Amino acid sequence: MLPTTSRSRSSSSSSRANPMFLQYFRRIVKWQQMDVEYTFWQMLNLCTSPKVVYQHTKYHKQTKNQWARDDPAFIVICSLLLVVAAVAYCVTYDHSGSHAVVVVVSVLLTHFLLTGAVIATCCWFLTNSYLREETPNSHVVEQRVEWLYTFDVHCNSFFPMFVLLYVVHYFLSPLLITHGFIPLLLSNLLFMVGASYYHYLNFLGYDVLPFLERTTFFLYPIGVVIVLSPILILSGFNPSRYFMNMYFSQRL
């Protein structure tokens, strides 16, 4: 009887996922129901005190009985900011309206939403398959990482990287895309810090879940980034010129 009860609880929790998704997507088109002020508070603290944000995630779990946000405001605002940043790059480095539309859509979908969905799915599979603690007591309800929460973690990690690699990079881009060792060094350092901070926030997002173990796995990519950075500098690879050439080759 105990396994049957466990399966029924598991199936009931999965059956609640669909209404949660439906409610989440309904709220995307209802701006009045979004907590914009709290979203900007989260964005600020993700750049300055990210552990505070994930402490509030624990409170959210206690009050809403789910780890994932039930408010899509973060995704909506982050998407709007990304569009504004992409438009700013197009105004500065591109004079073709049709090409600008392609760039904006490509940046929003490829850099944020689709890449985020892929990363979230990989992390969802990895955490649920390999990083969950074993529960020897059959009476304990099995806990699993929600896919929507893994996408939340990606969004949280993406925003500070967006500030560095889209906003700060925009103002430094006239220098970073020029030839020379100083632009090469600054560009690689900026991308190294942005990528490292992304993976650090990724680690914090999963380390806060009490039923996961070996979450330091999410810190390993930082070591890879640190090792690769001097190699890229010595090889003369400038990530700023590479990505700017990818979208605005006729202007560089």
Torsion angle, CA of 35/38/44/47, rounded to 10 degrees?
-90
Q: Tell me how far apart the alpha carbons of residues 231 and 251 are, in angstroms, rounded to a whole number.
A: 28
Q: Give which of 33, 153, 50, 162 is closest to 108, Cα–Cα.
A: 162
Residues contacting 25, CB < 8 A, separation 6+:
72
Least confident of 33-37, 46-50, 120-124: 33-37
How far out from the chain centre does Cα 99 lie? 26
Residue pLDDT, tens place only, 94-117: 878 888 999 999 999 999 999 999
Q: Write out the E strands in 64-192.
A: none
Residue pair 68/25 in contact by the 8 Å Cβ criterion: no
| pTM assigned to the model | 0.88
132: three-class secondary structure by DSSP: strand
Q: How confident is the model at residue 143 (pLDDT cuts 50, 70, 90)?
A: confident
**Cα maximum dimension of the chain:** 71
- Mean pLDDT confidence for 30-58: 91
Judge residue 220's burial from the number of C-beta atoms within 10 Å of its C-beta, 0-12 exposed, 13-18 middle, 19 or more buried.
Answer: exposed
Q: Looking at residue 139, what DSSP letter applies?
A: T
Q: Tell me how far apart the alpha carbons of residues 192 and 36 are, in angstroms, rounded to a whole number.
A: 30
C-alpha distances (whole Å) from 149 to each of 17, 55, 166, 173, 199 are 12, 15, 24, 34, 16
Least confident of 21-25, 38-42, 57-61: 21-25
Q: Tell me how far apart the alpha carbons of residues 158 and 163 are, in angstroms, rounded to a whole number.
A: 9
Q: What is the pLDDT of residue 70?
A: 85
How open is the CA angle 81-87-93, to the nearest 5 degrees?
140
Residues contacting 184, CB < 8 A, separation 6+:
233, 236, 237, 238
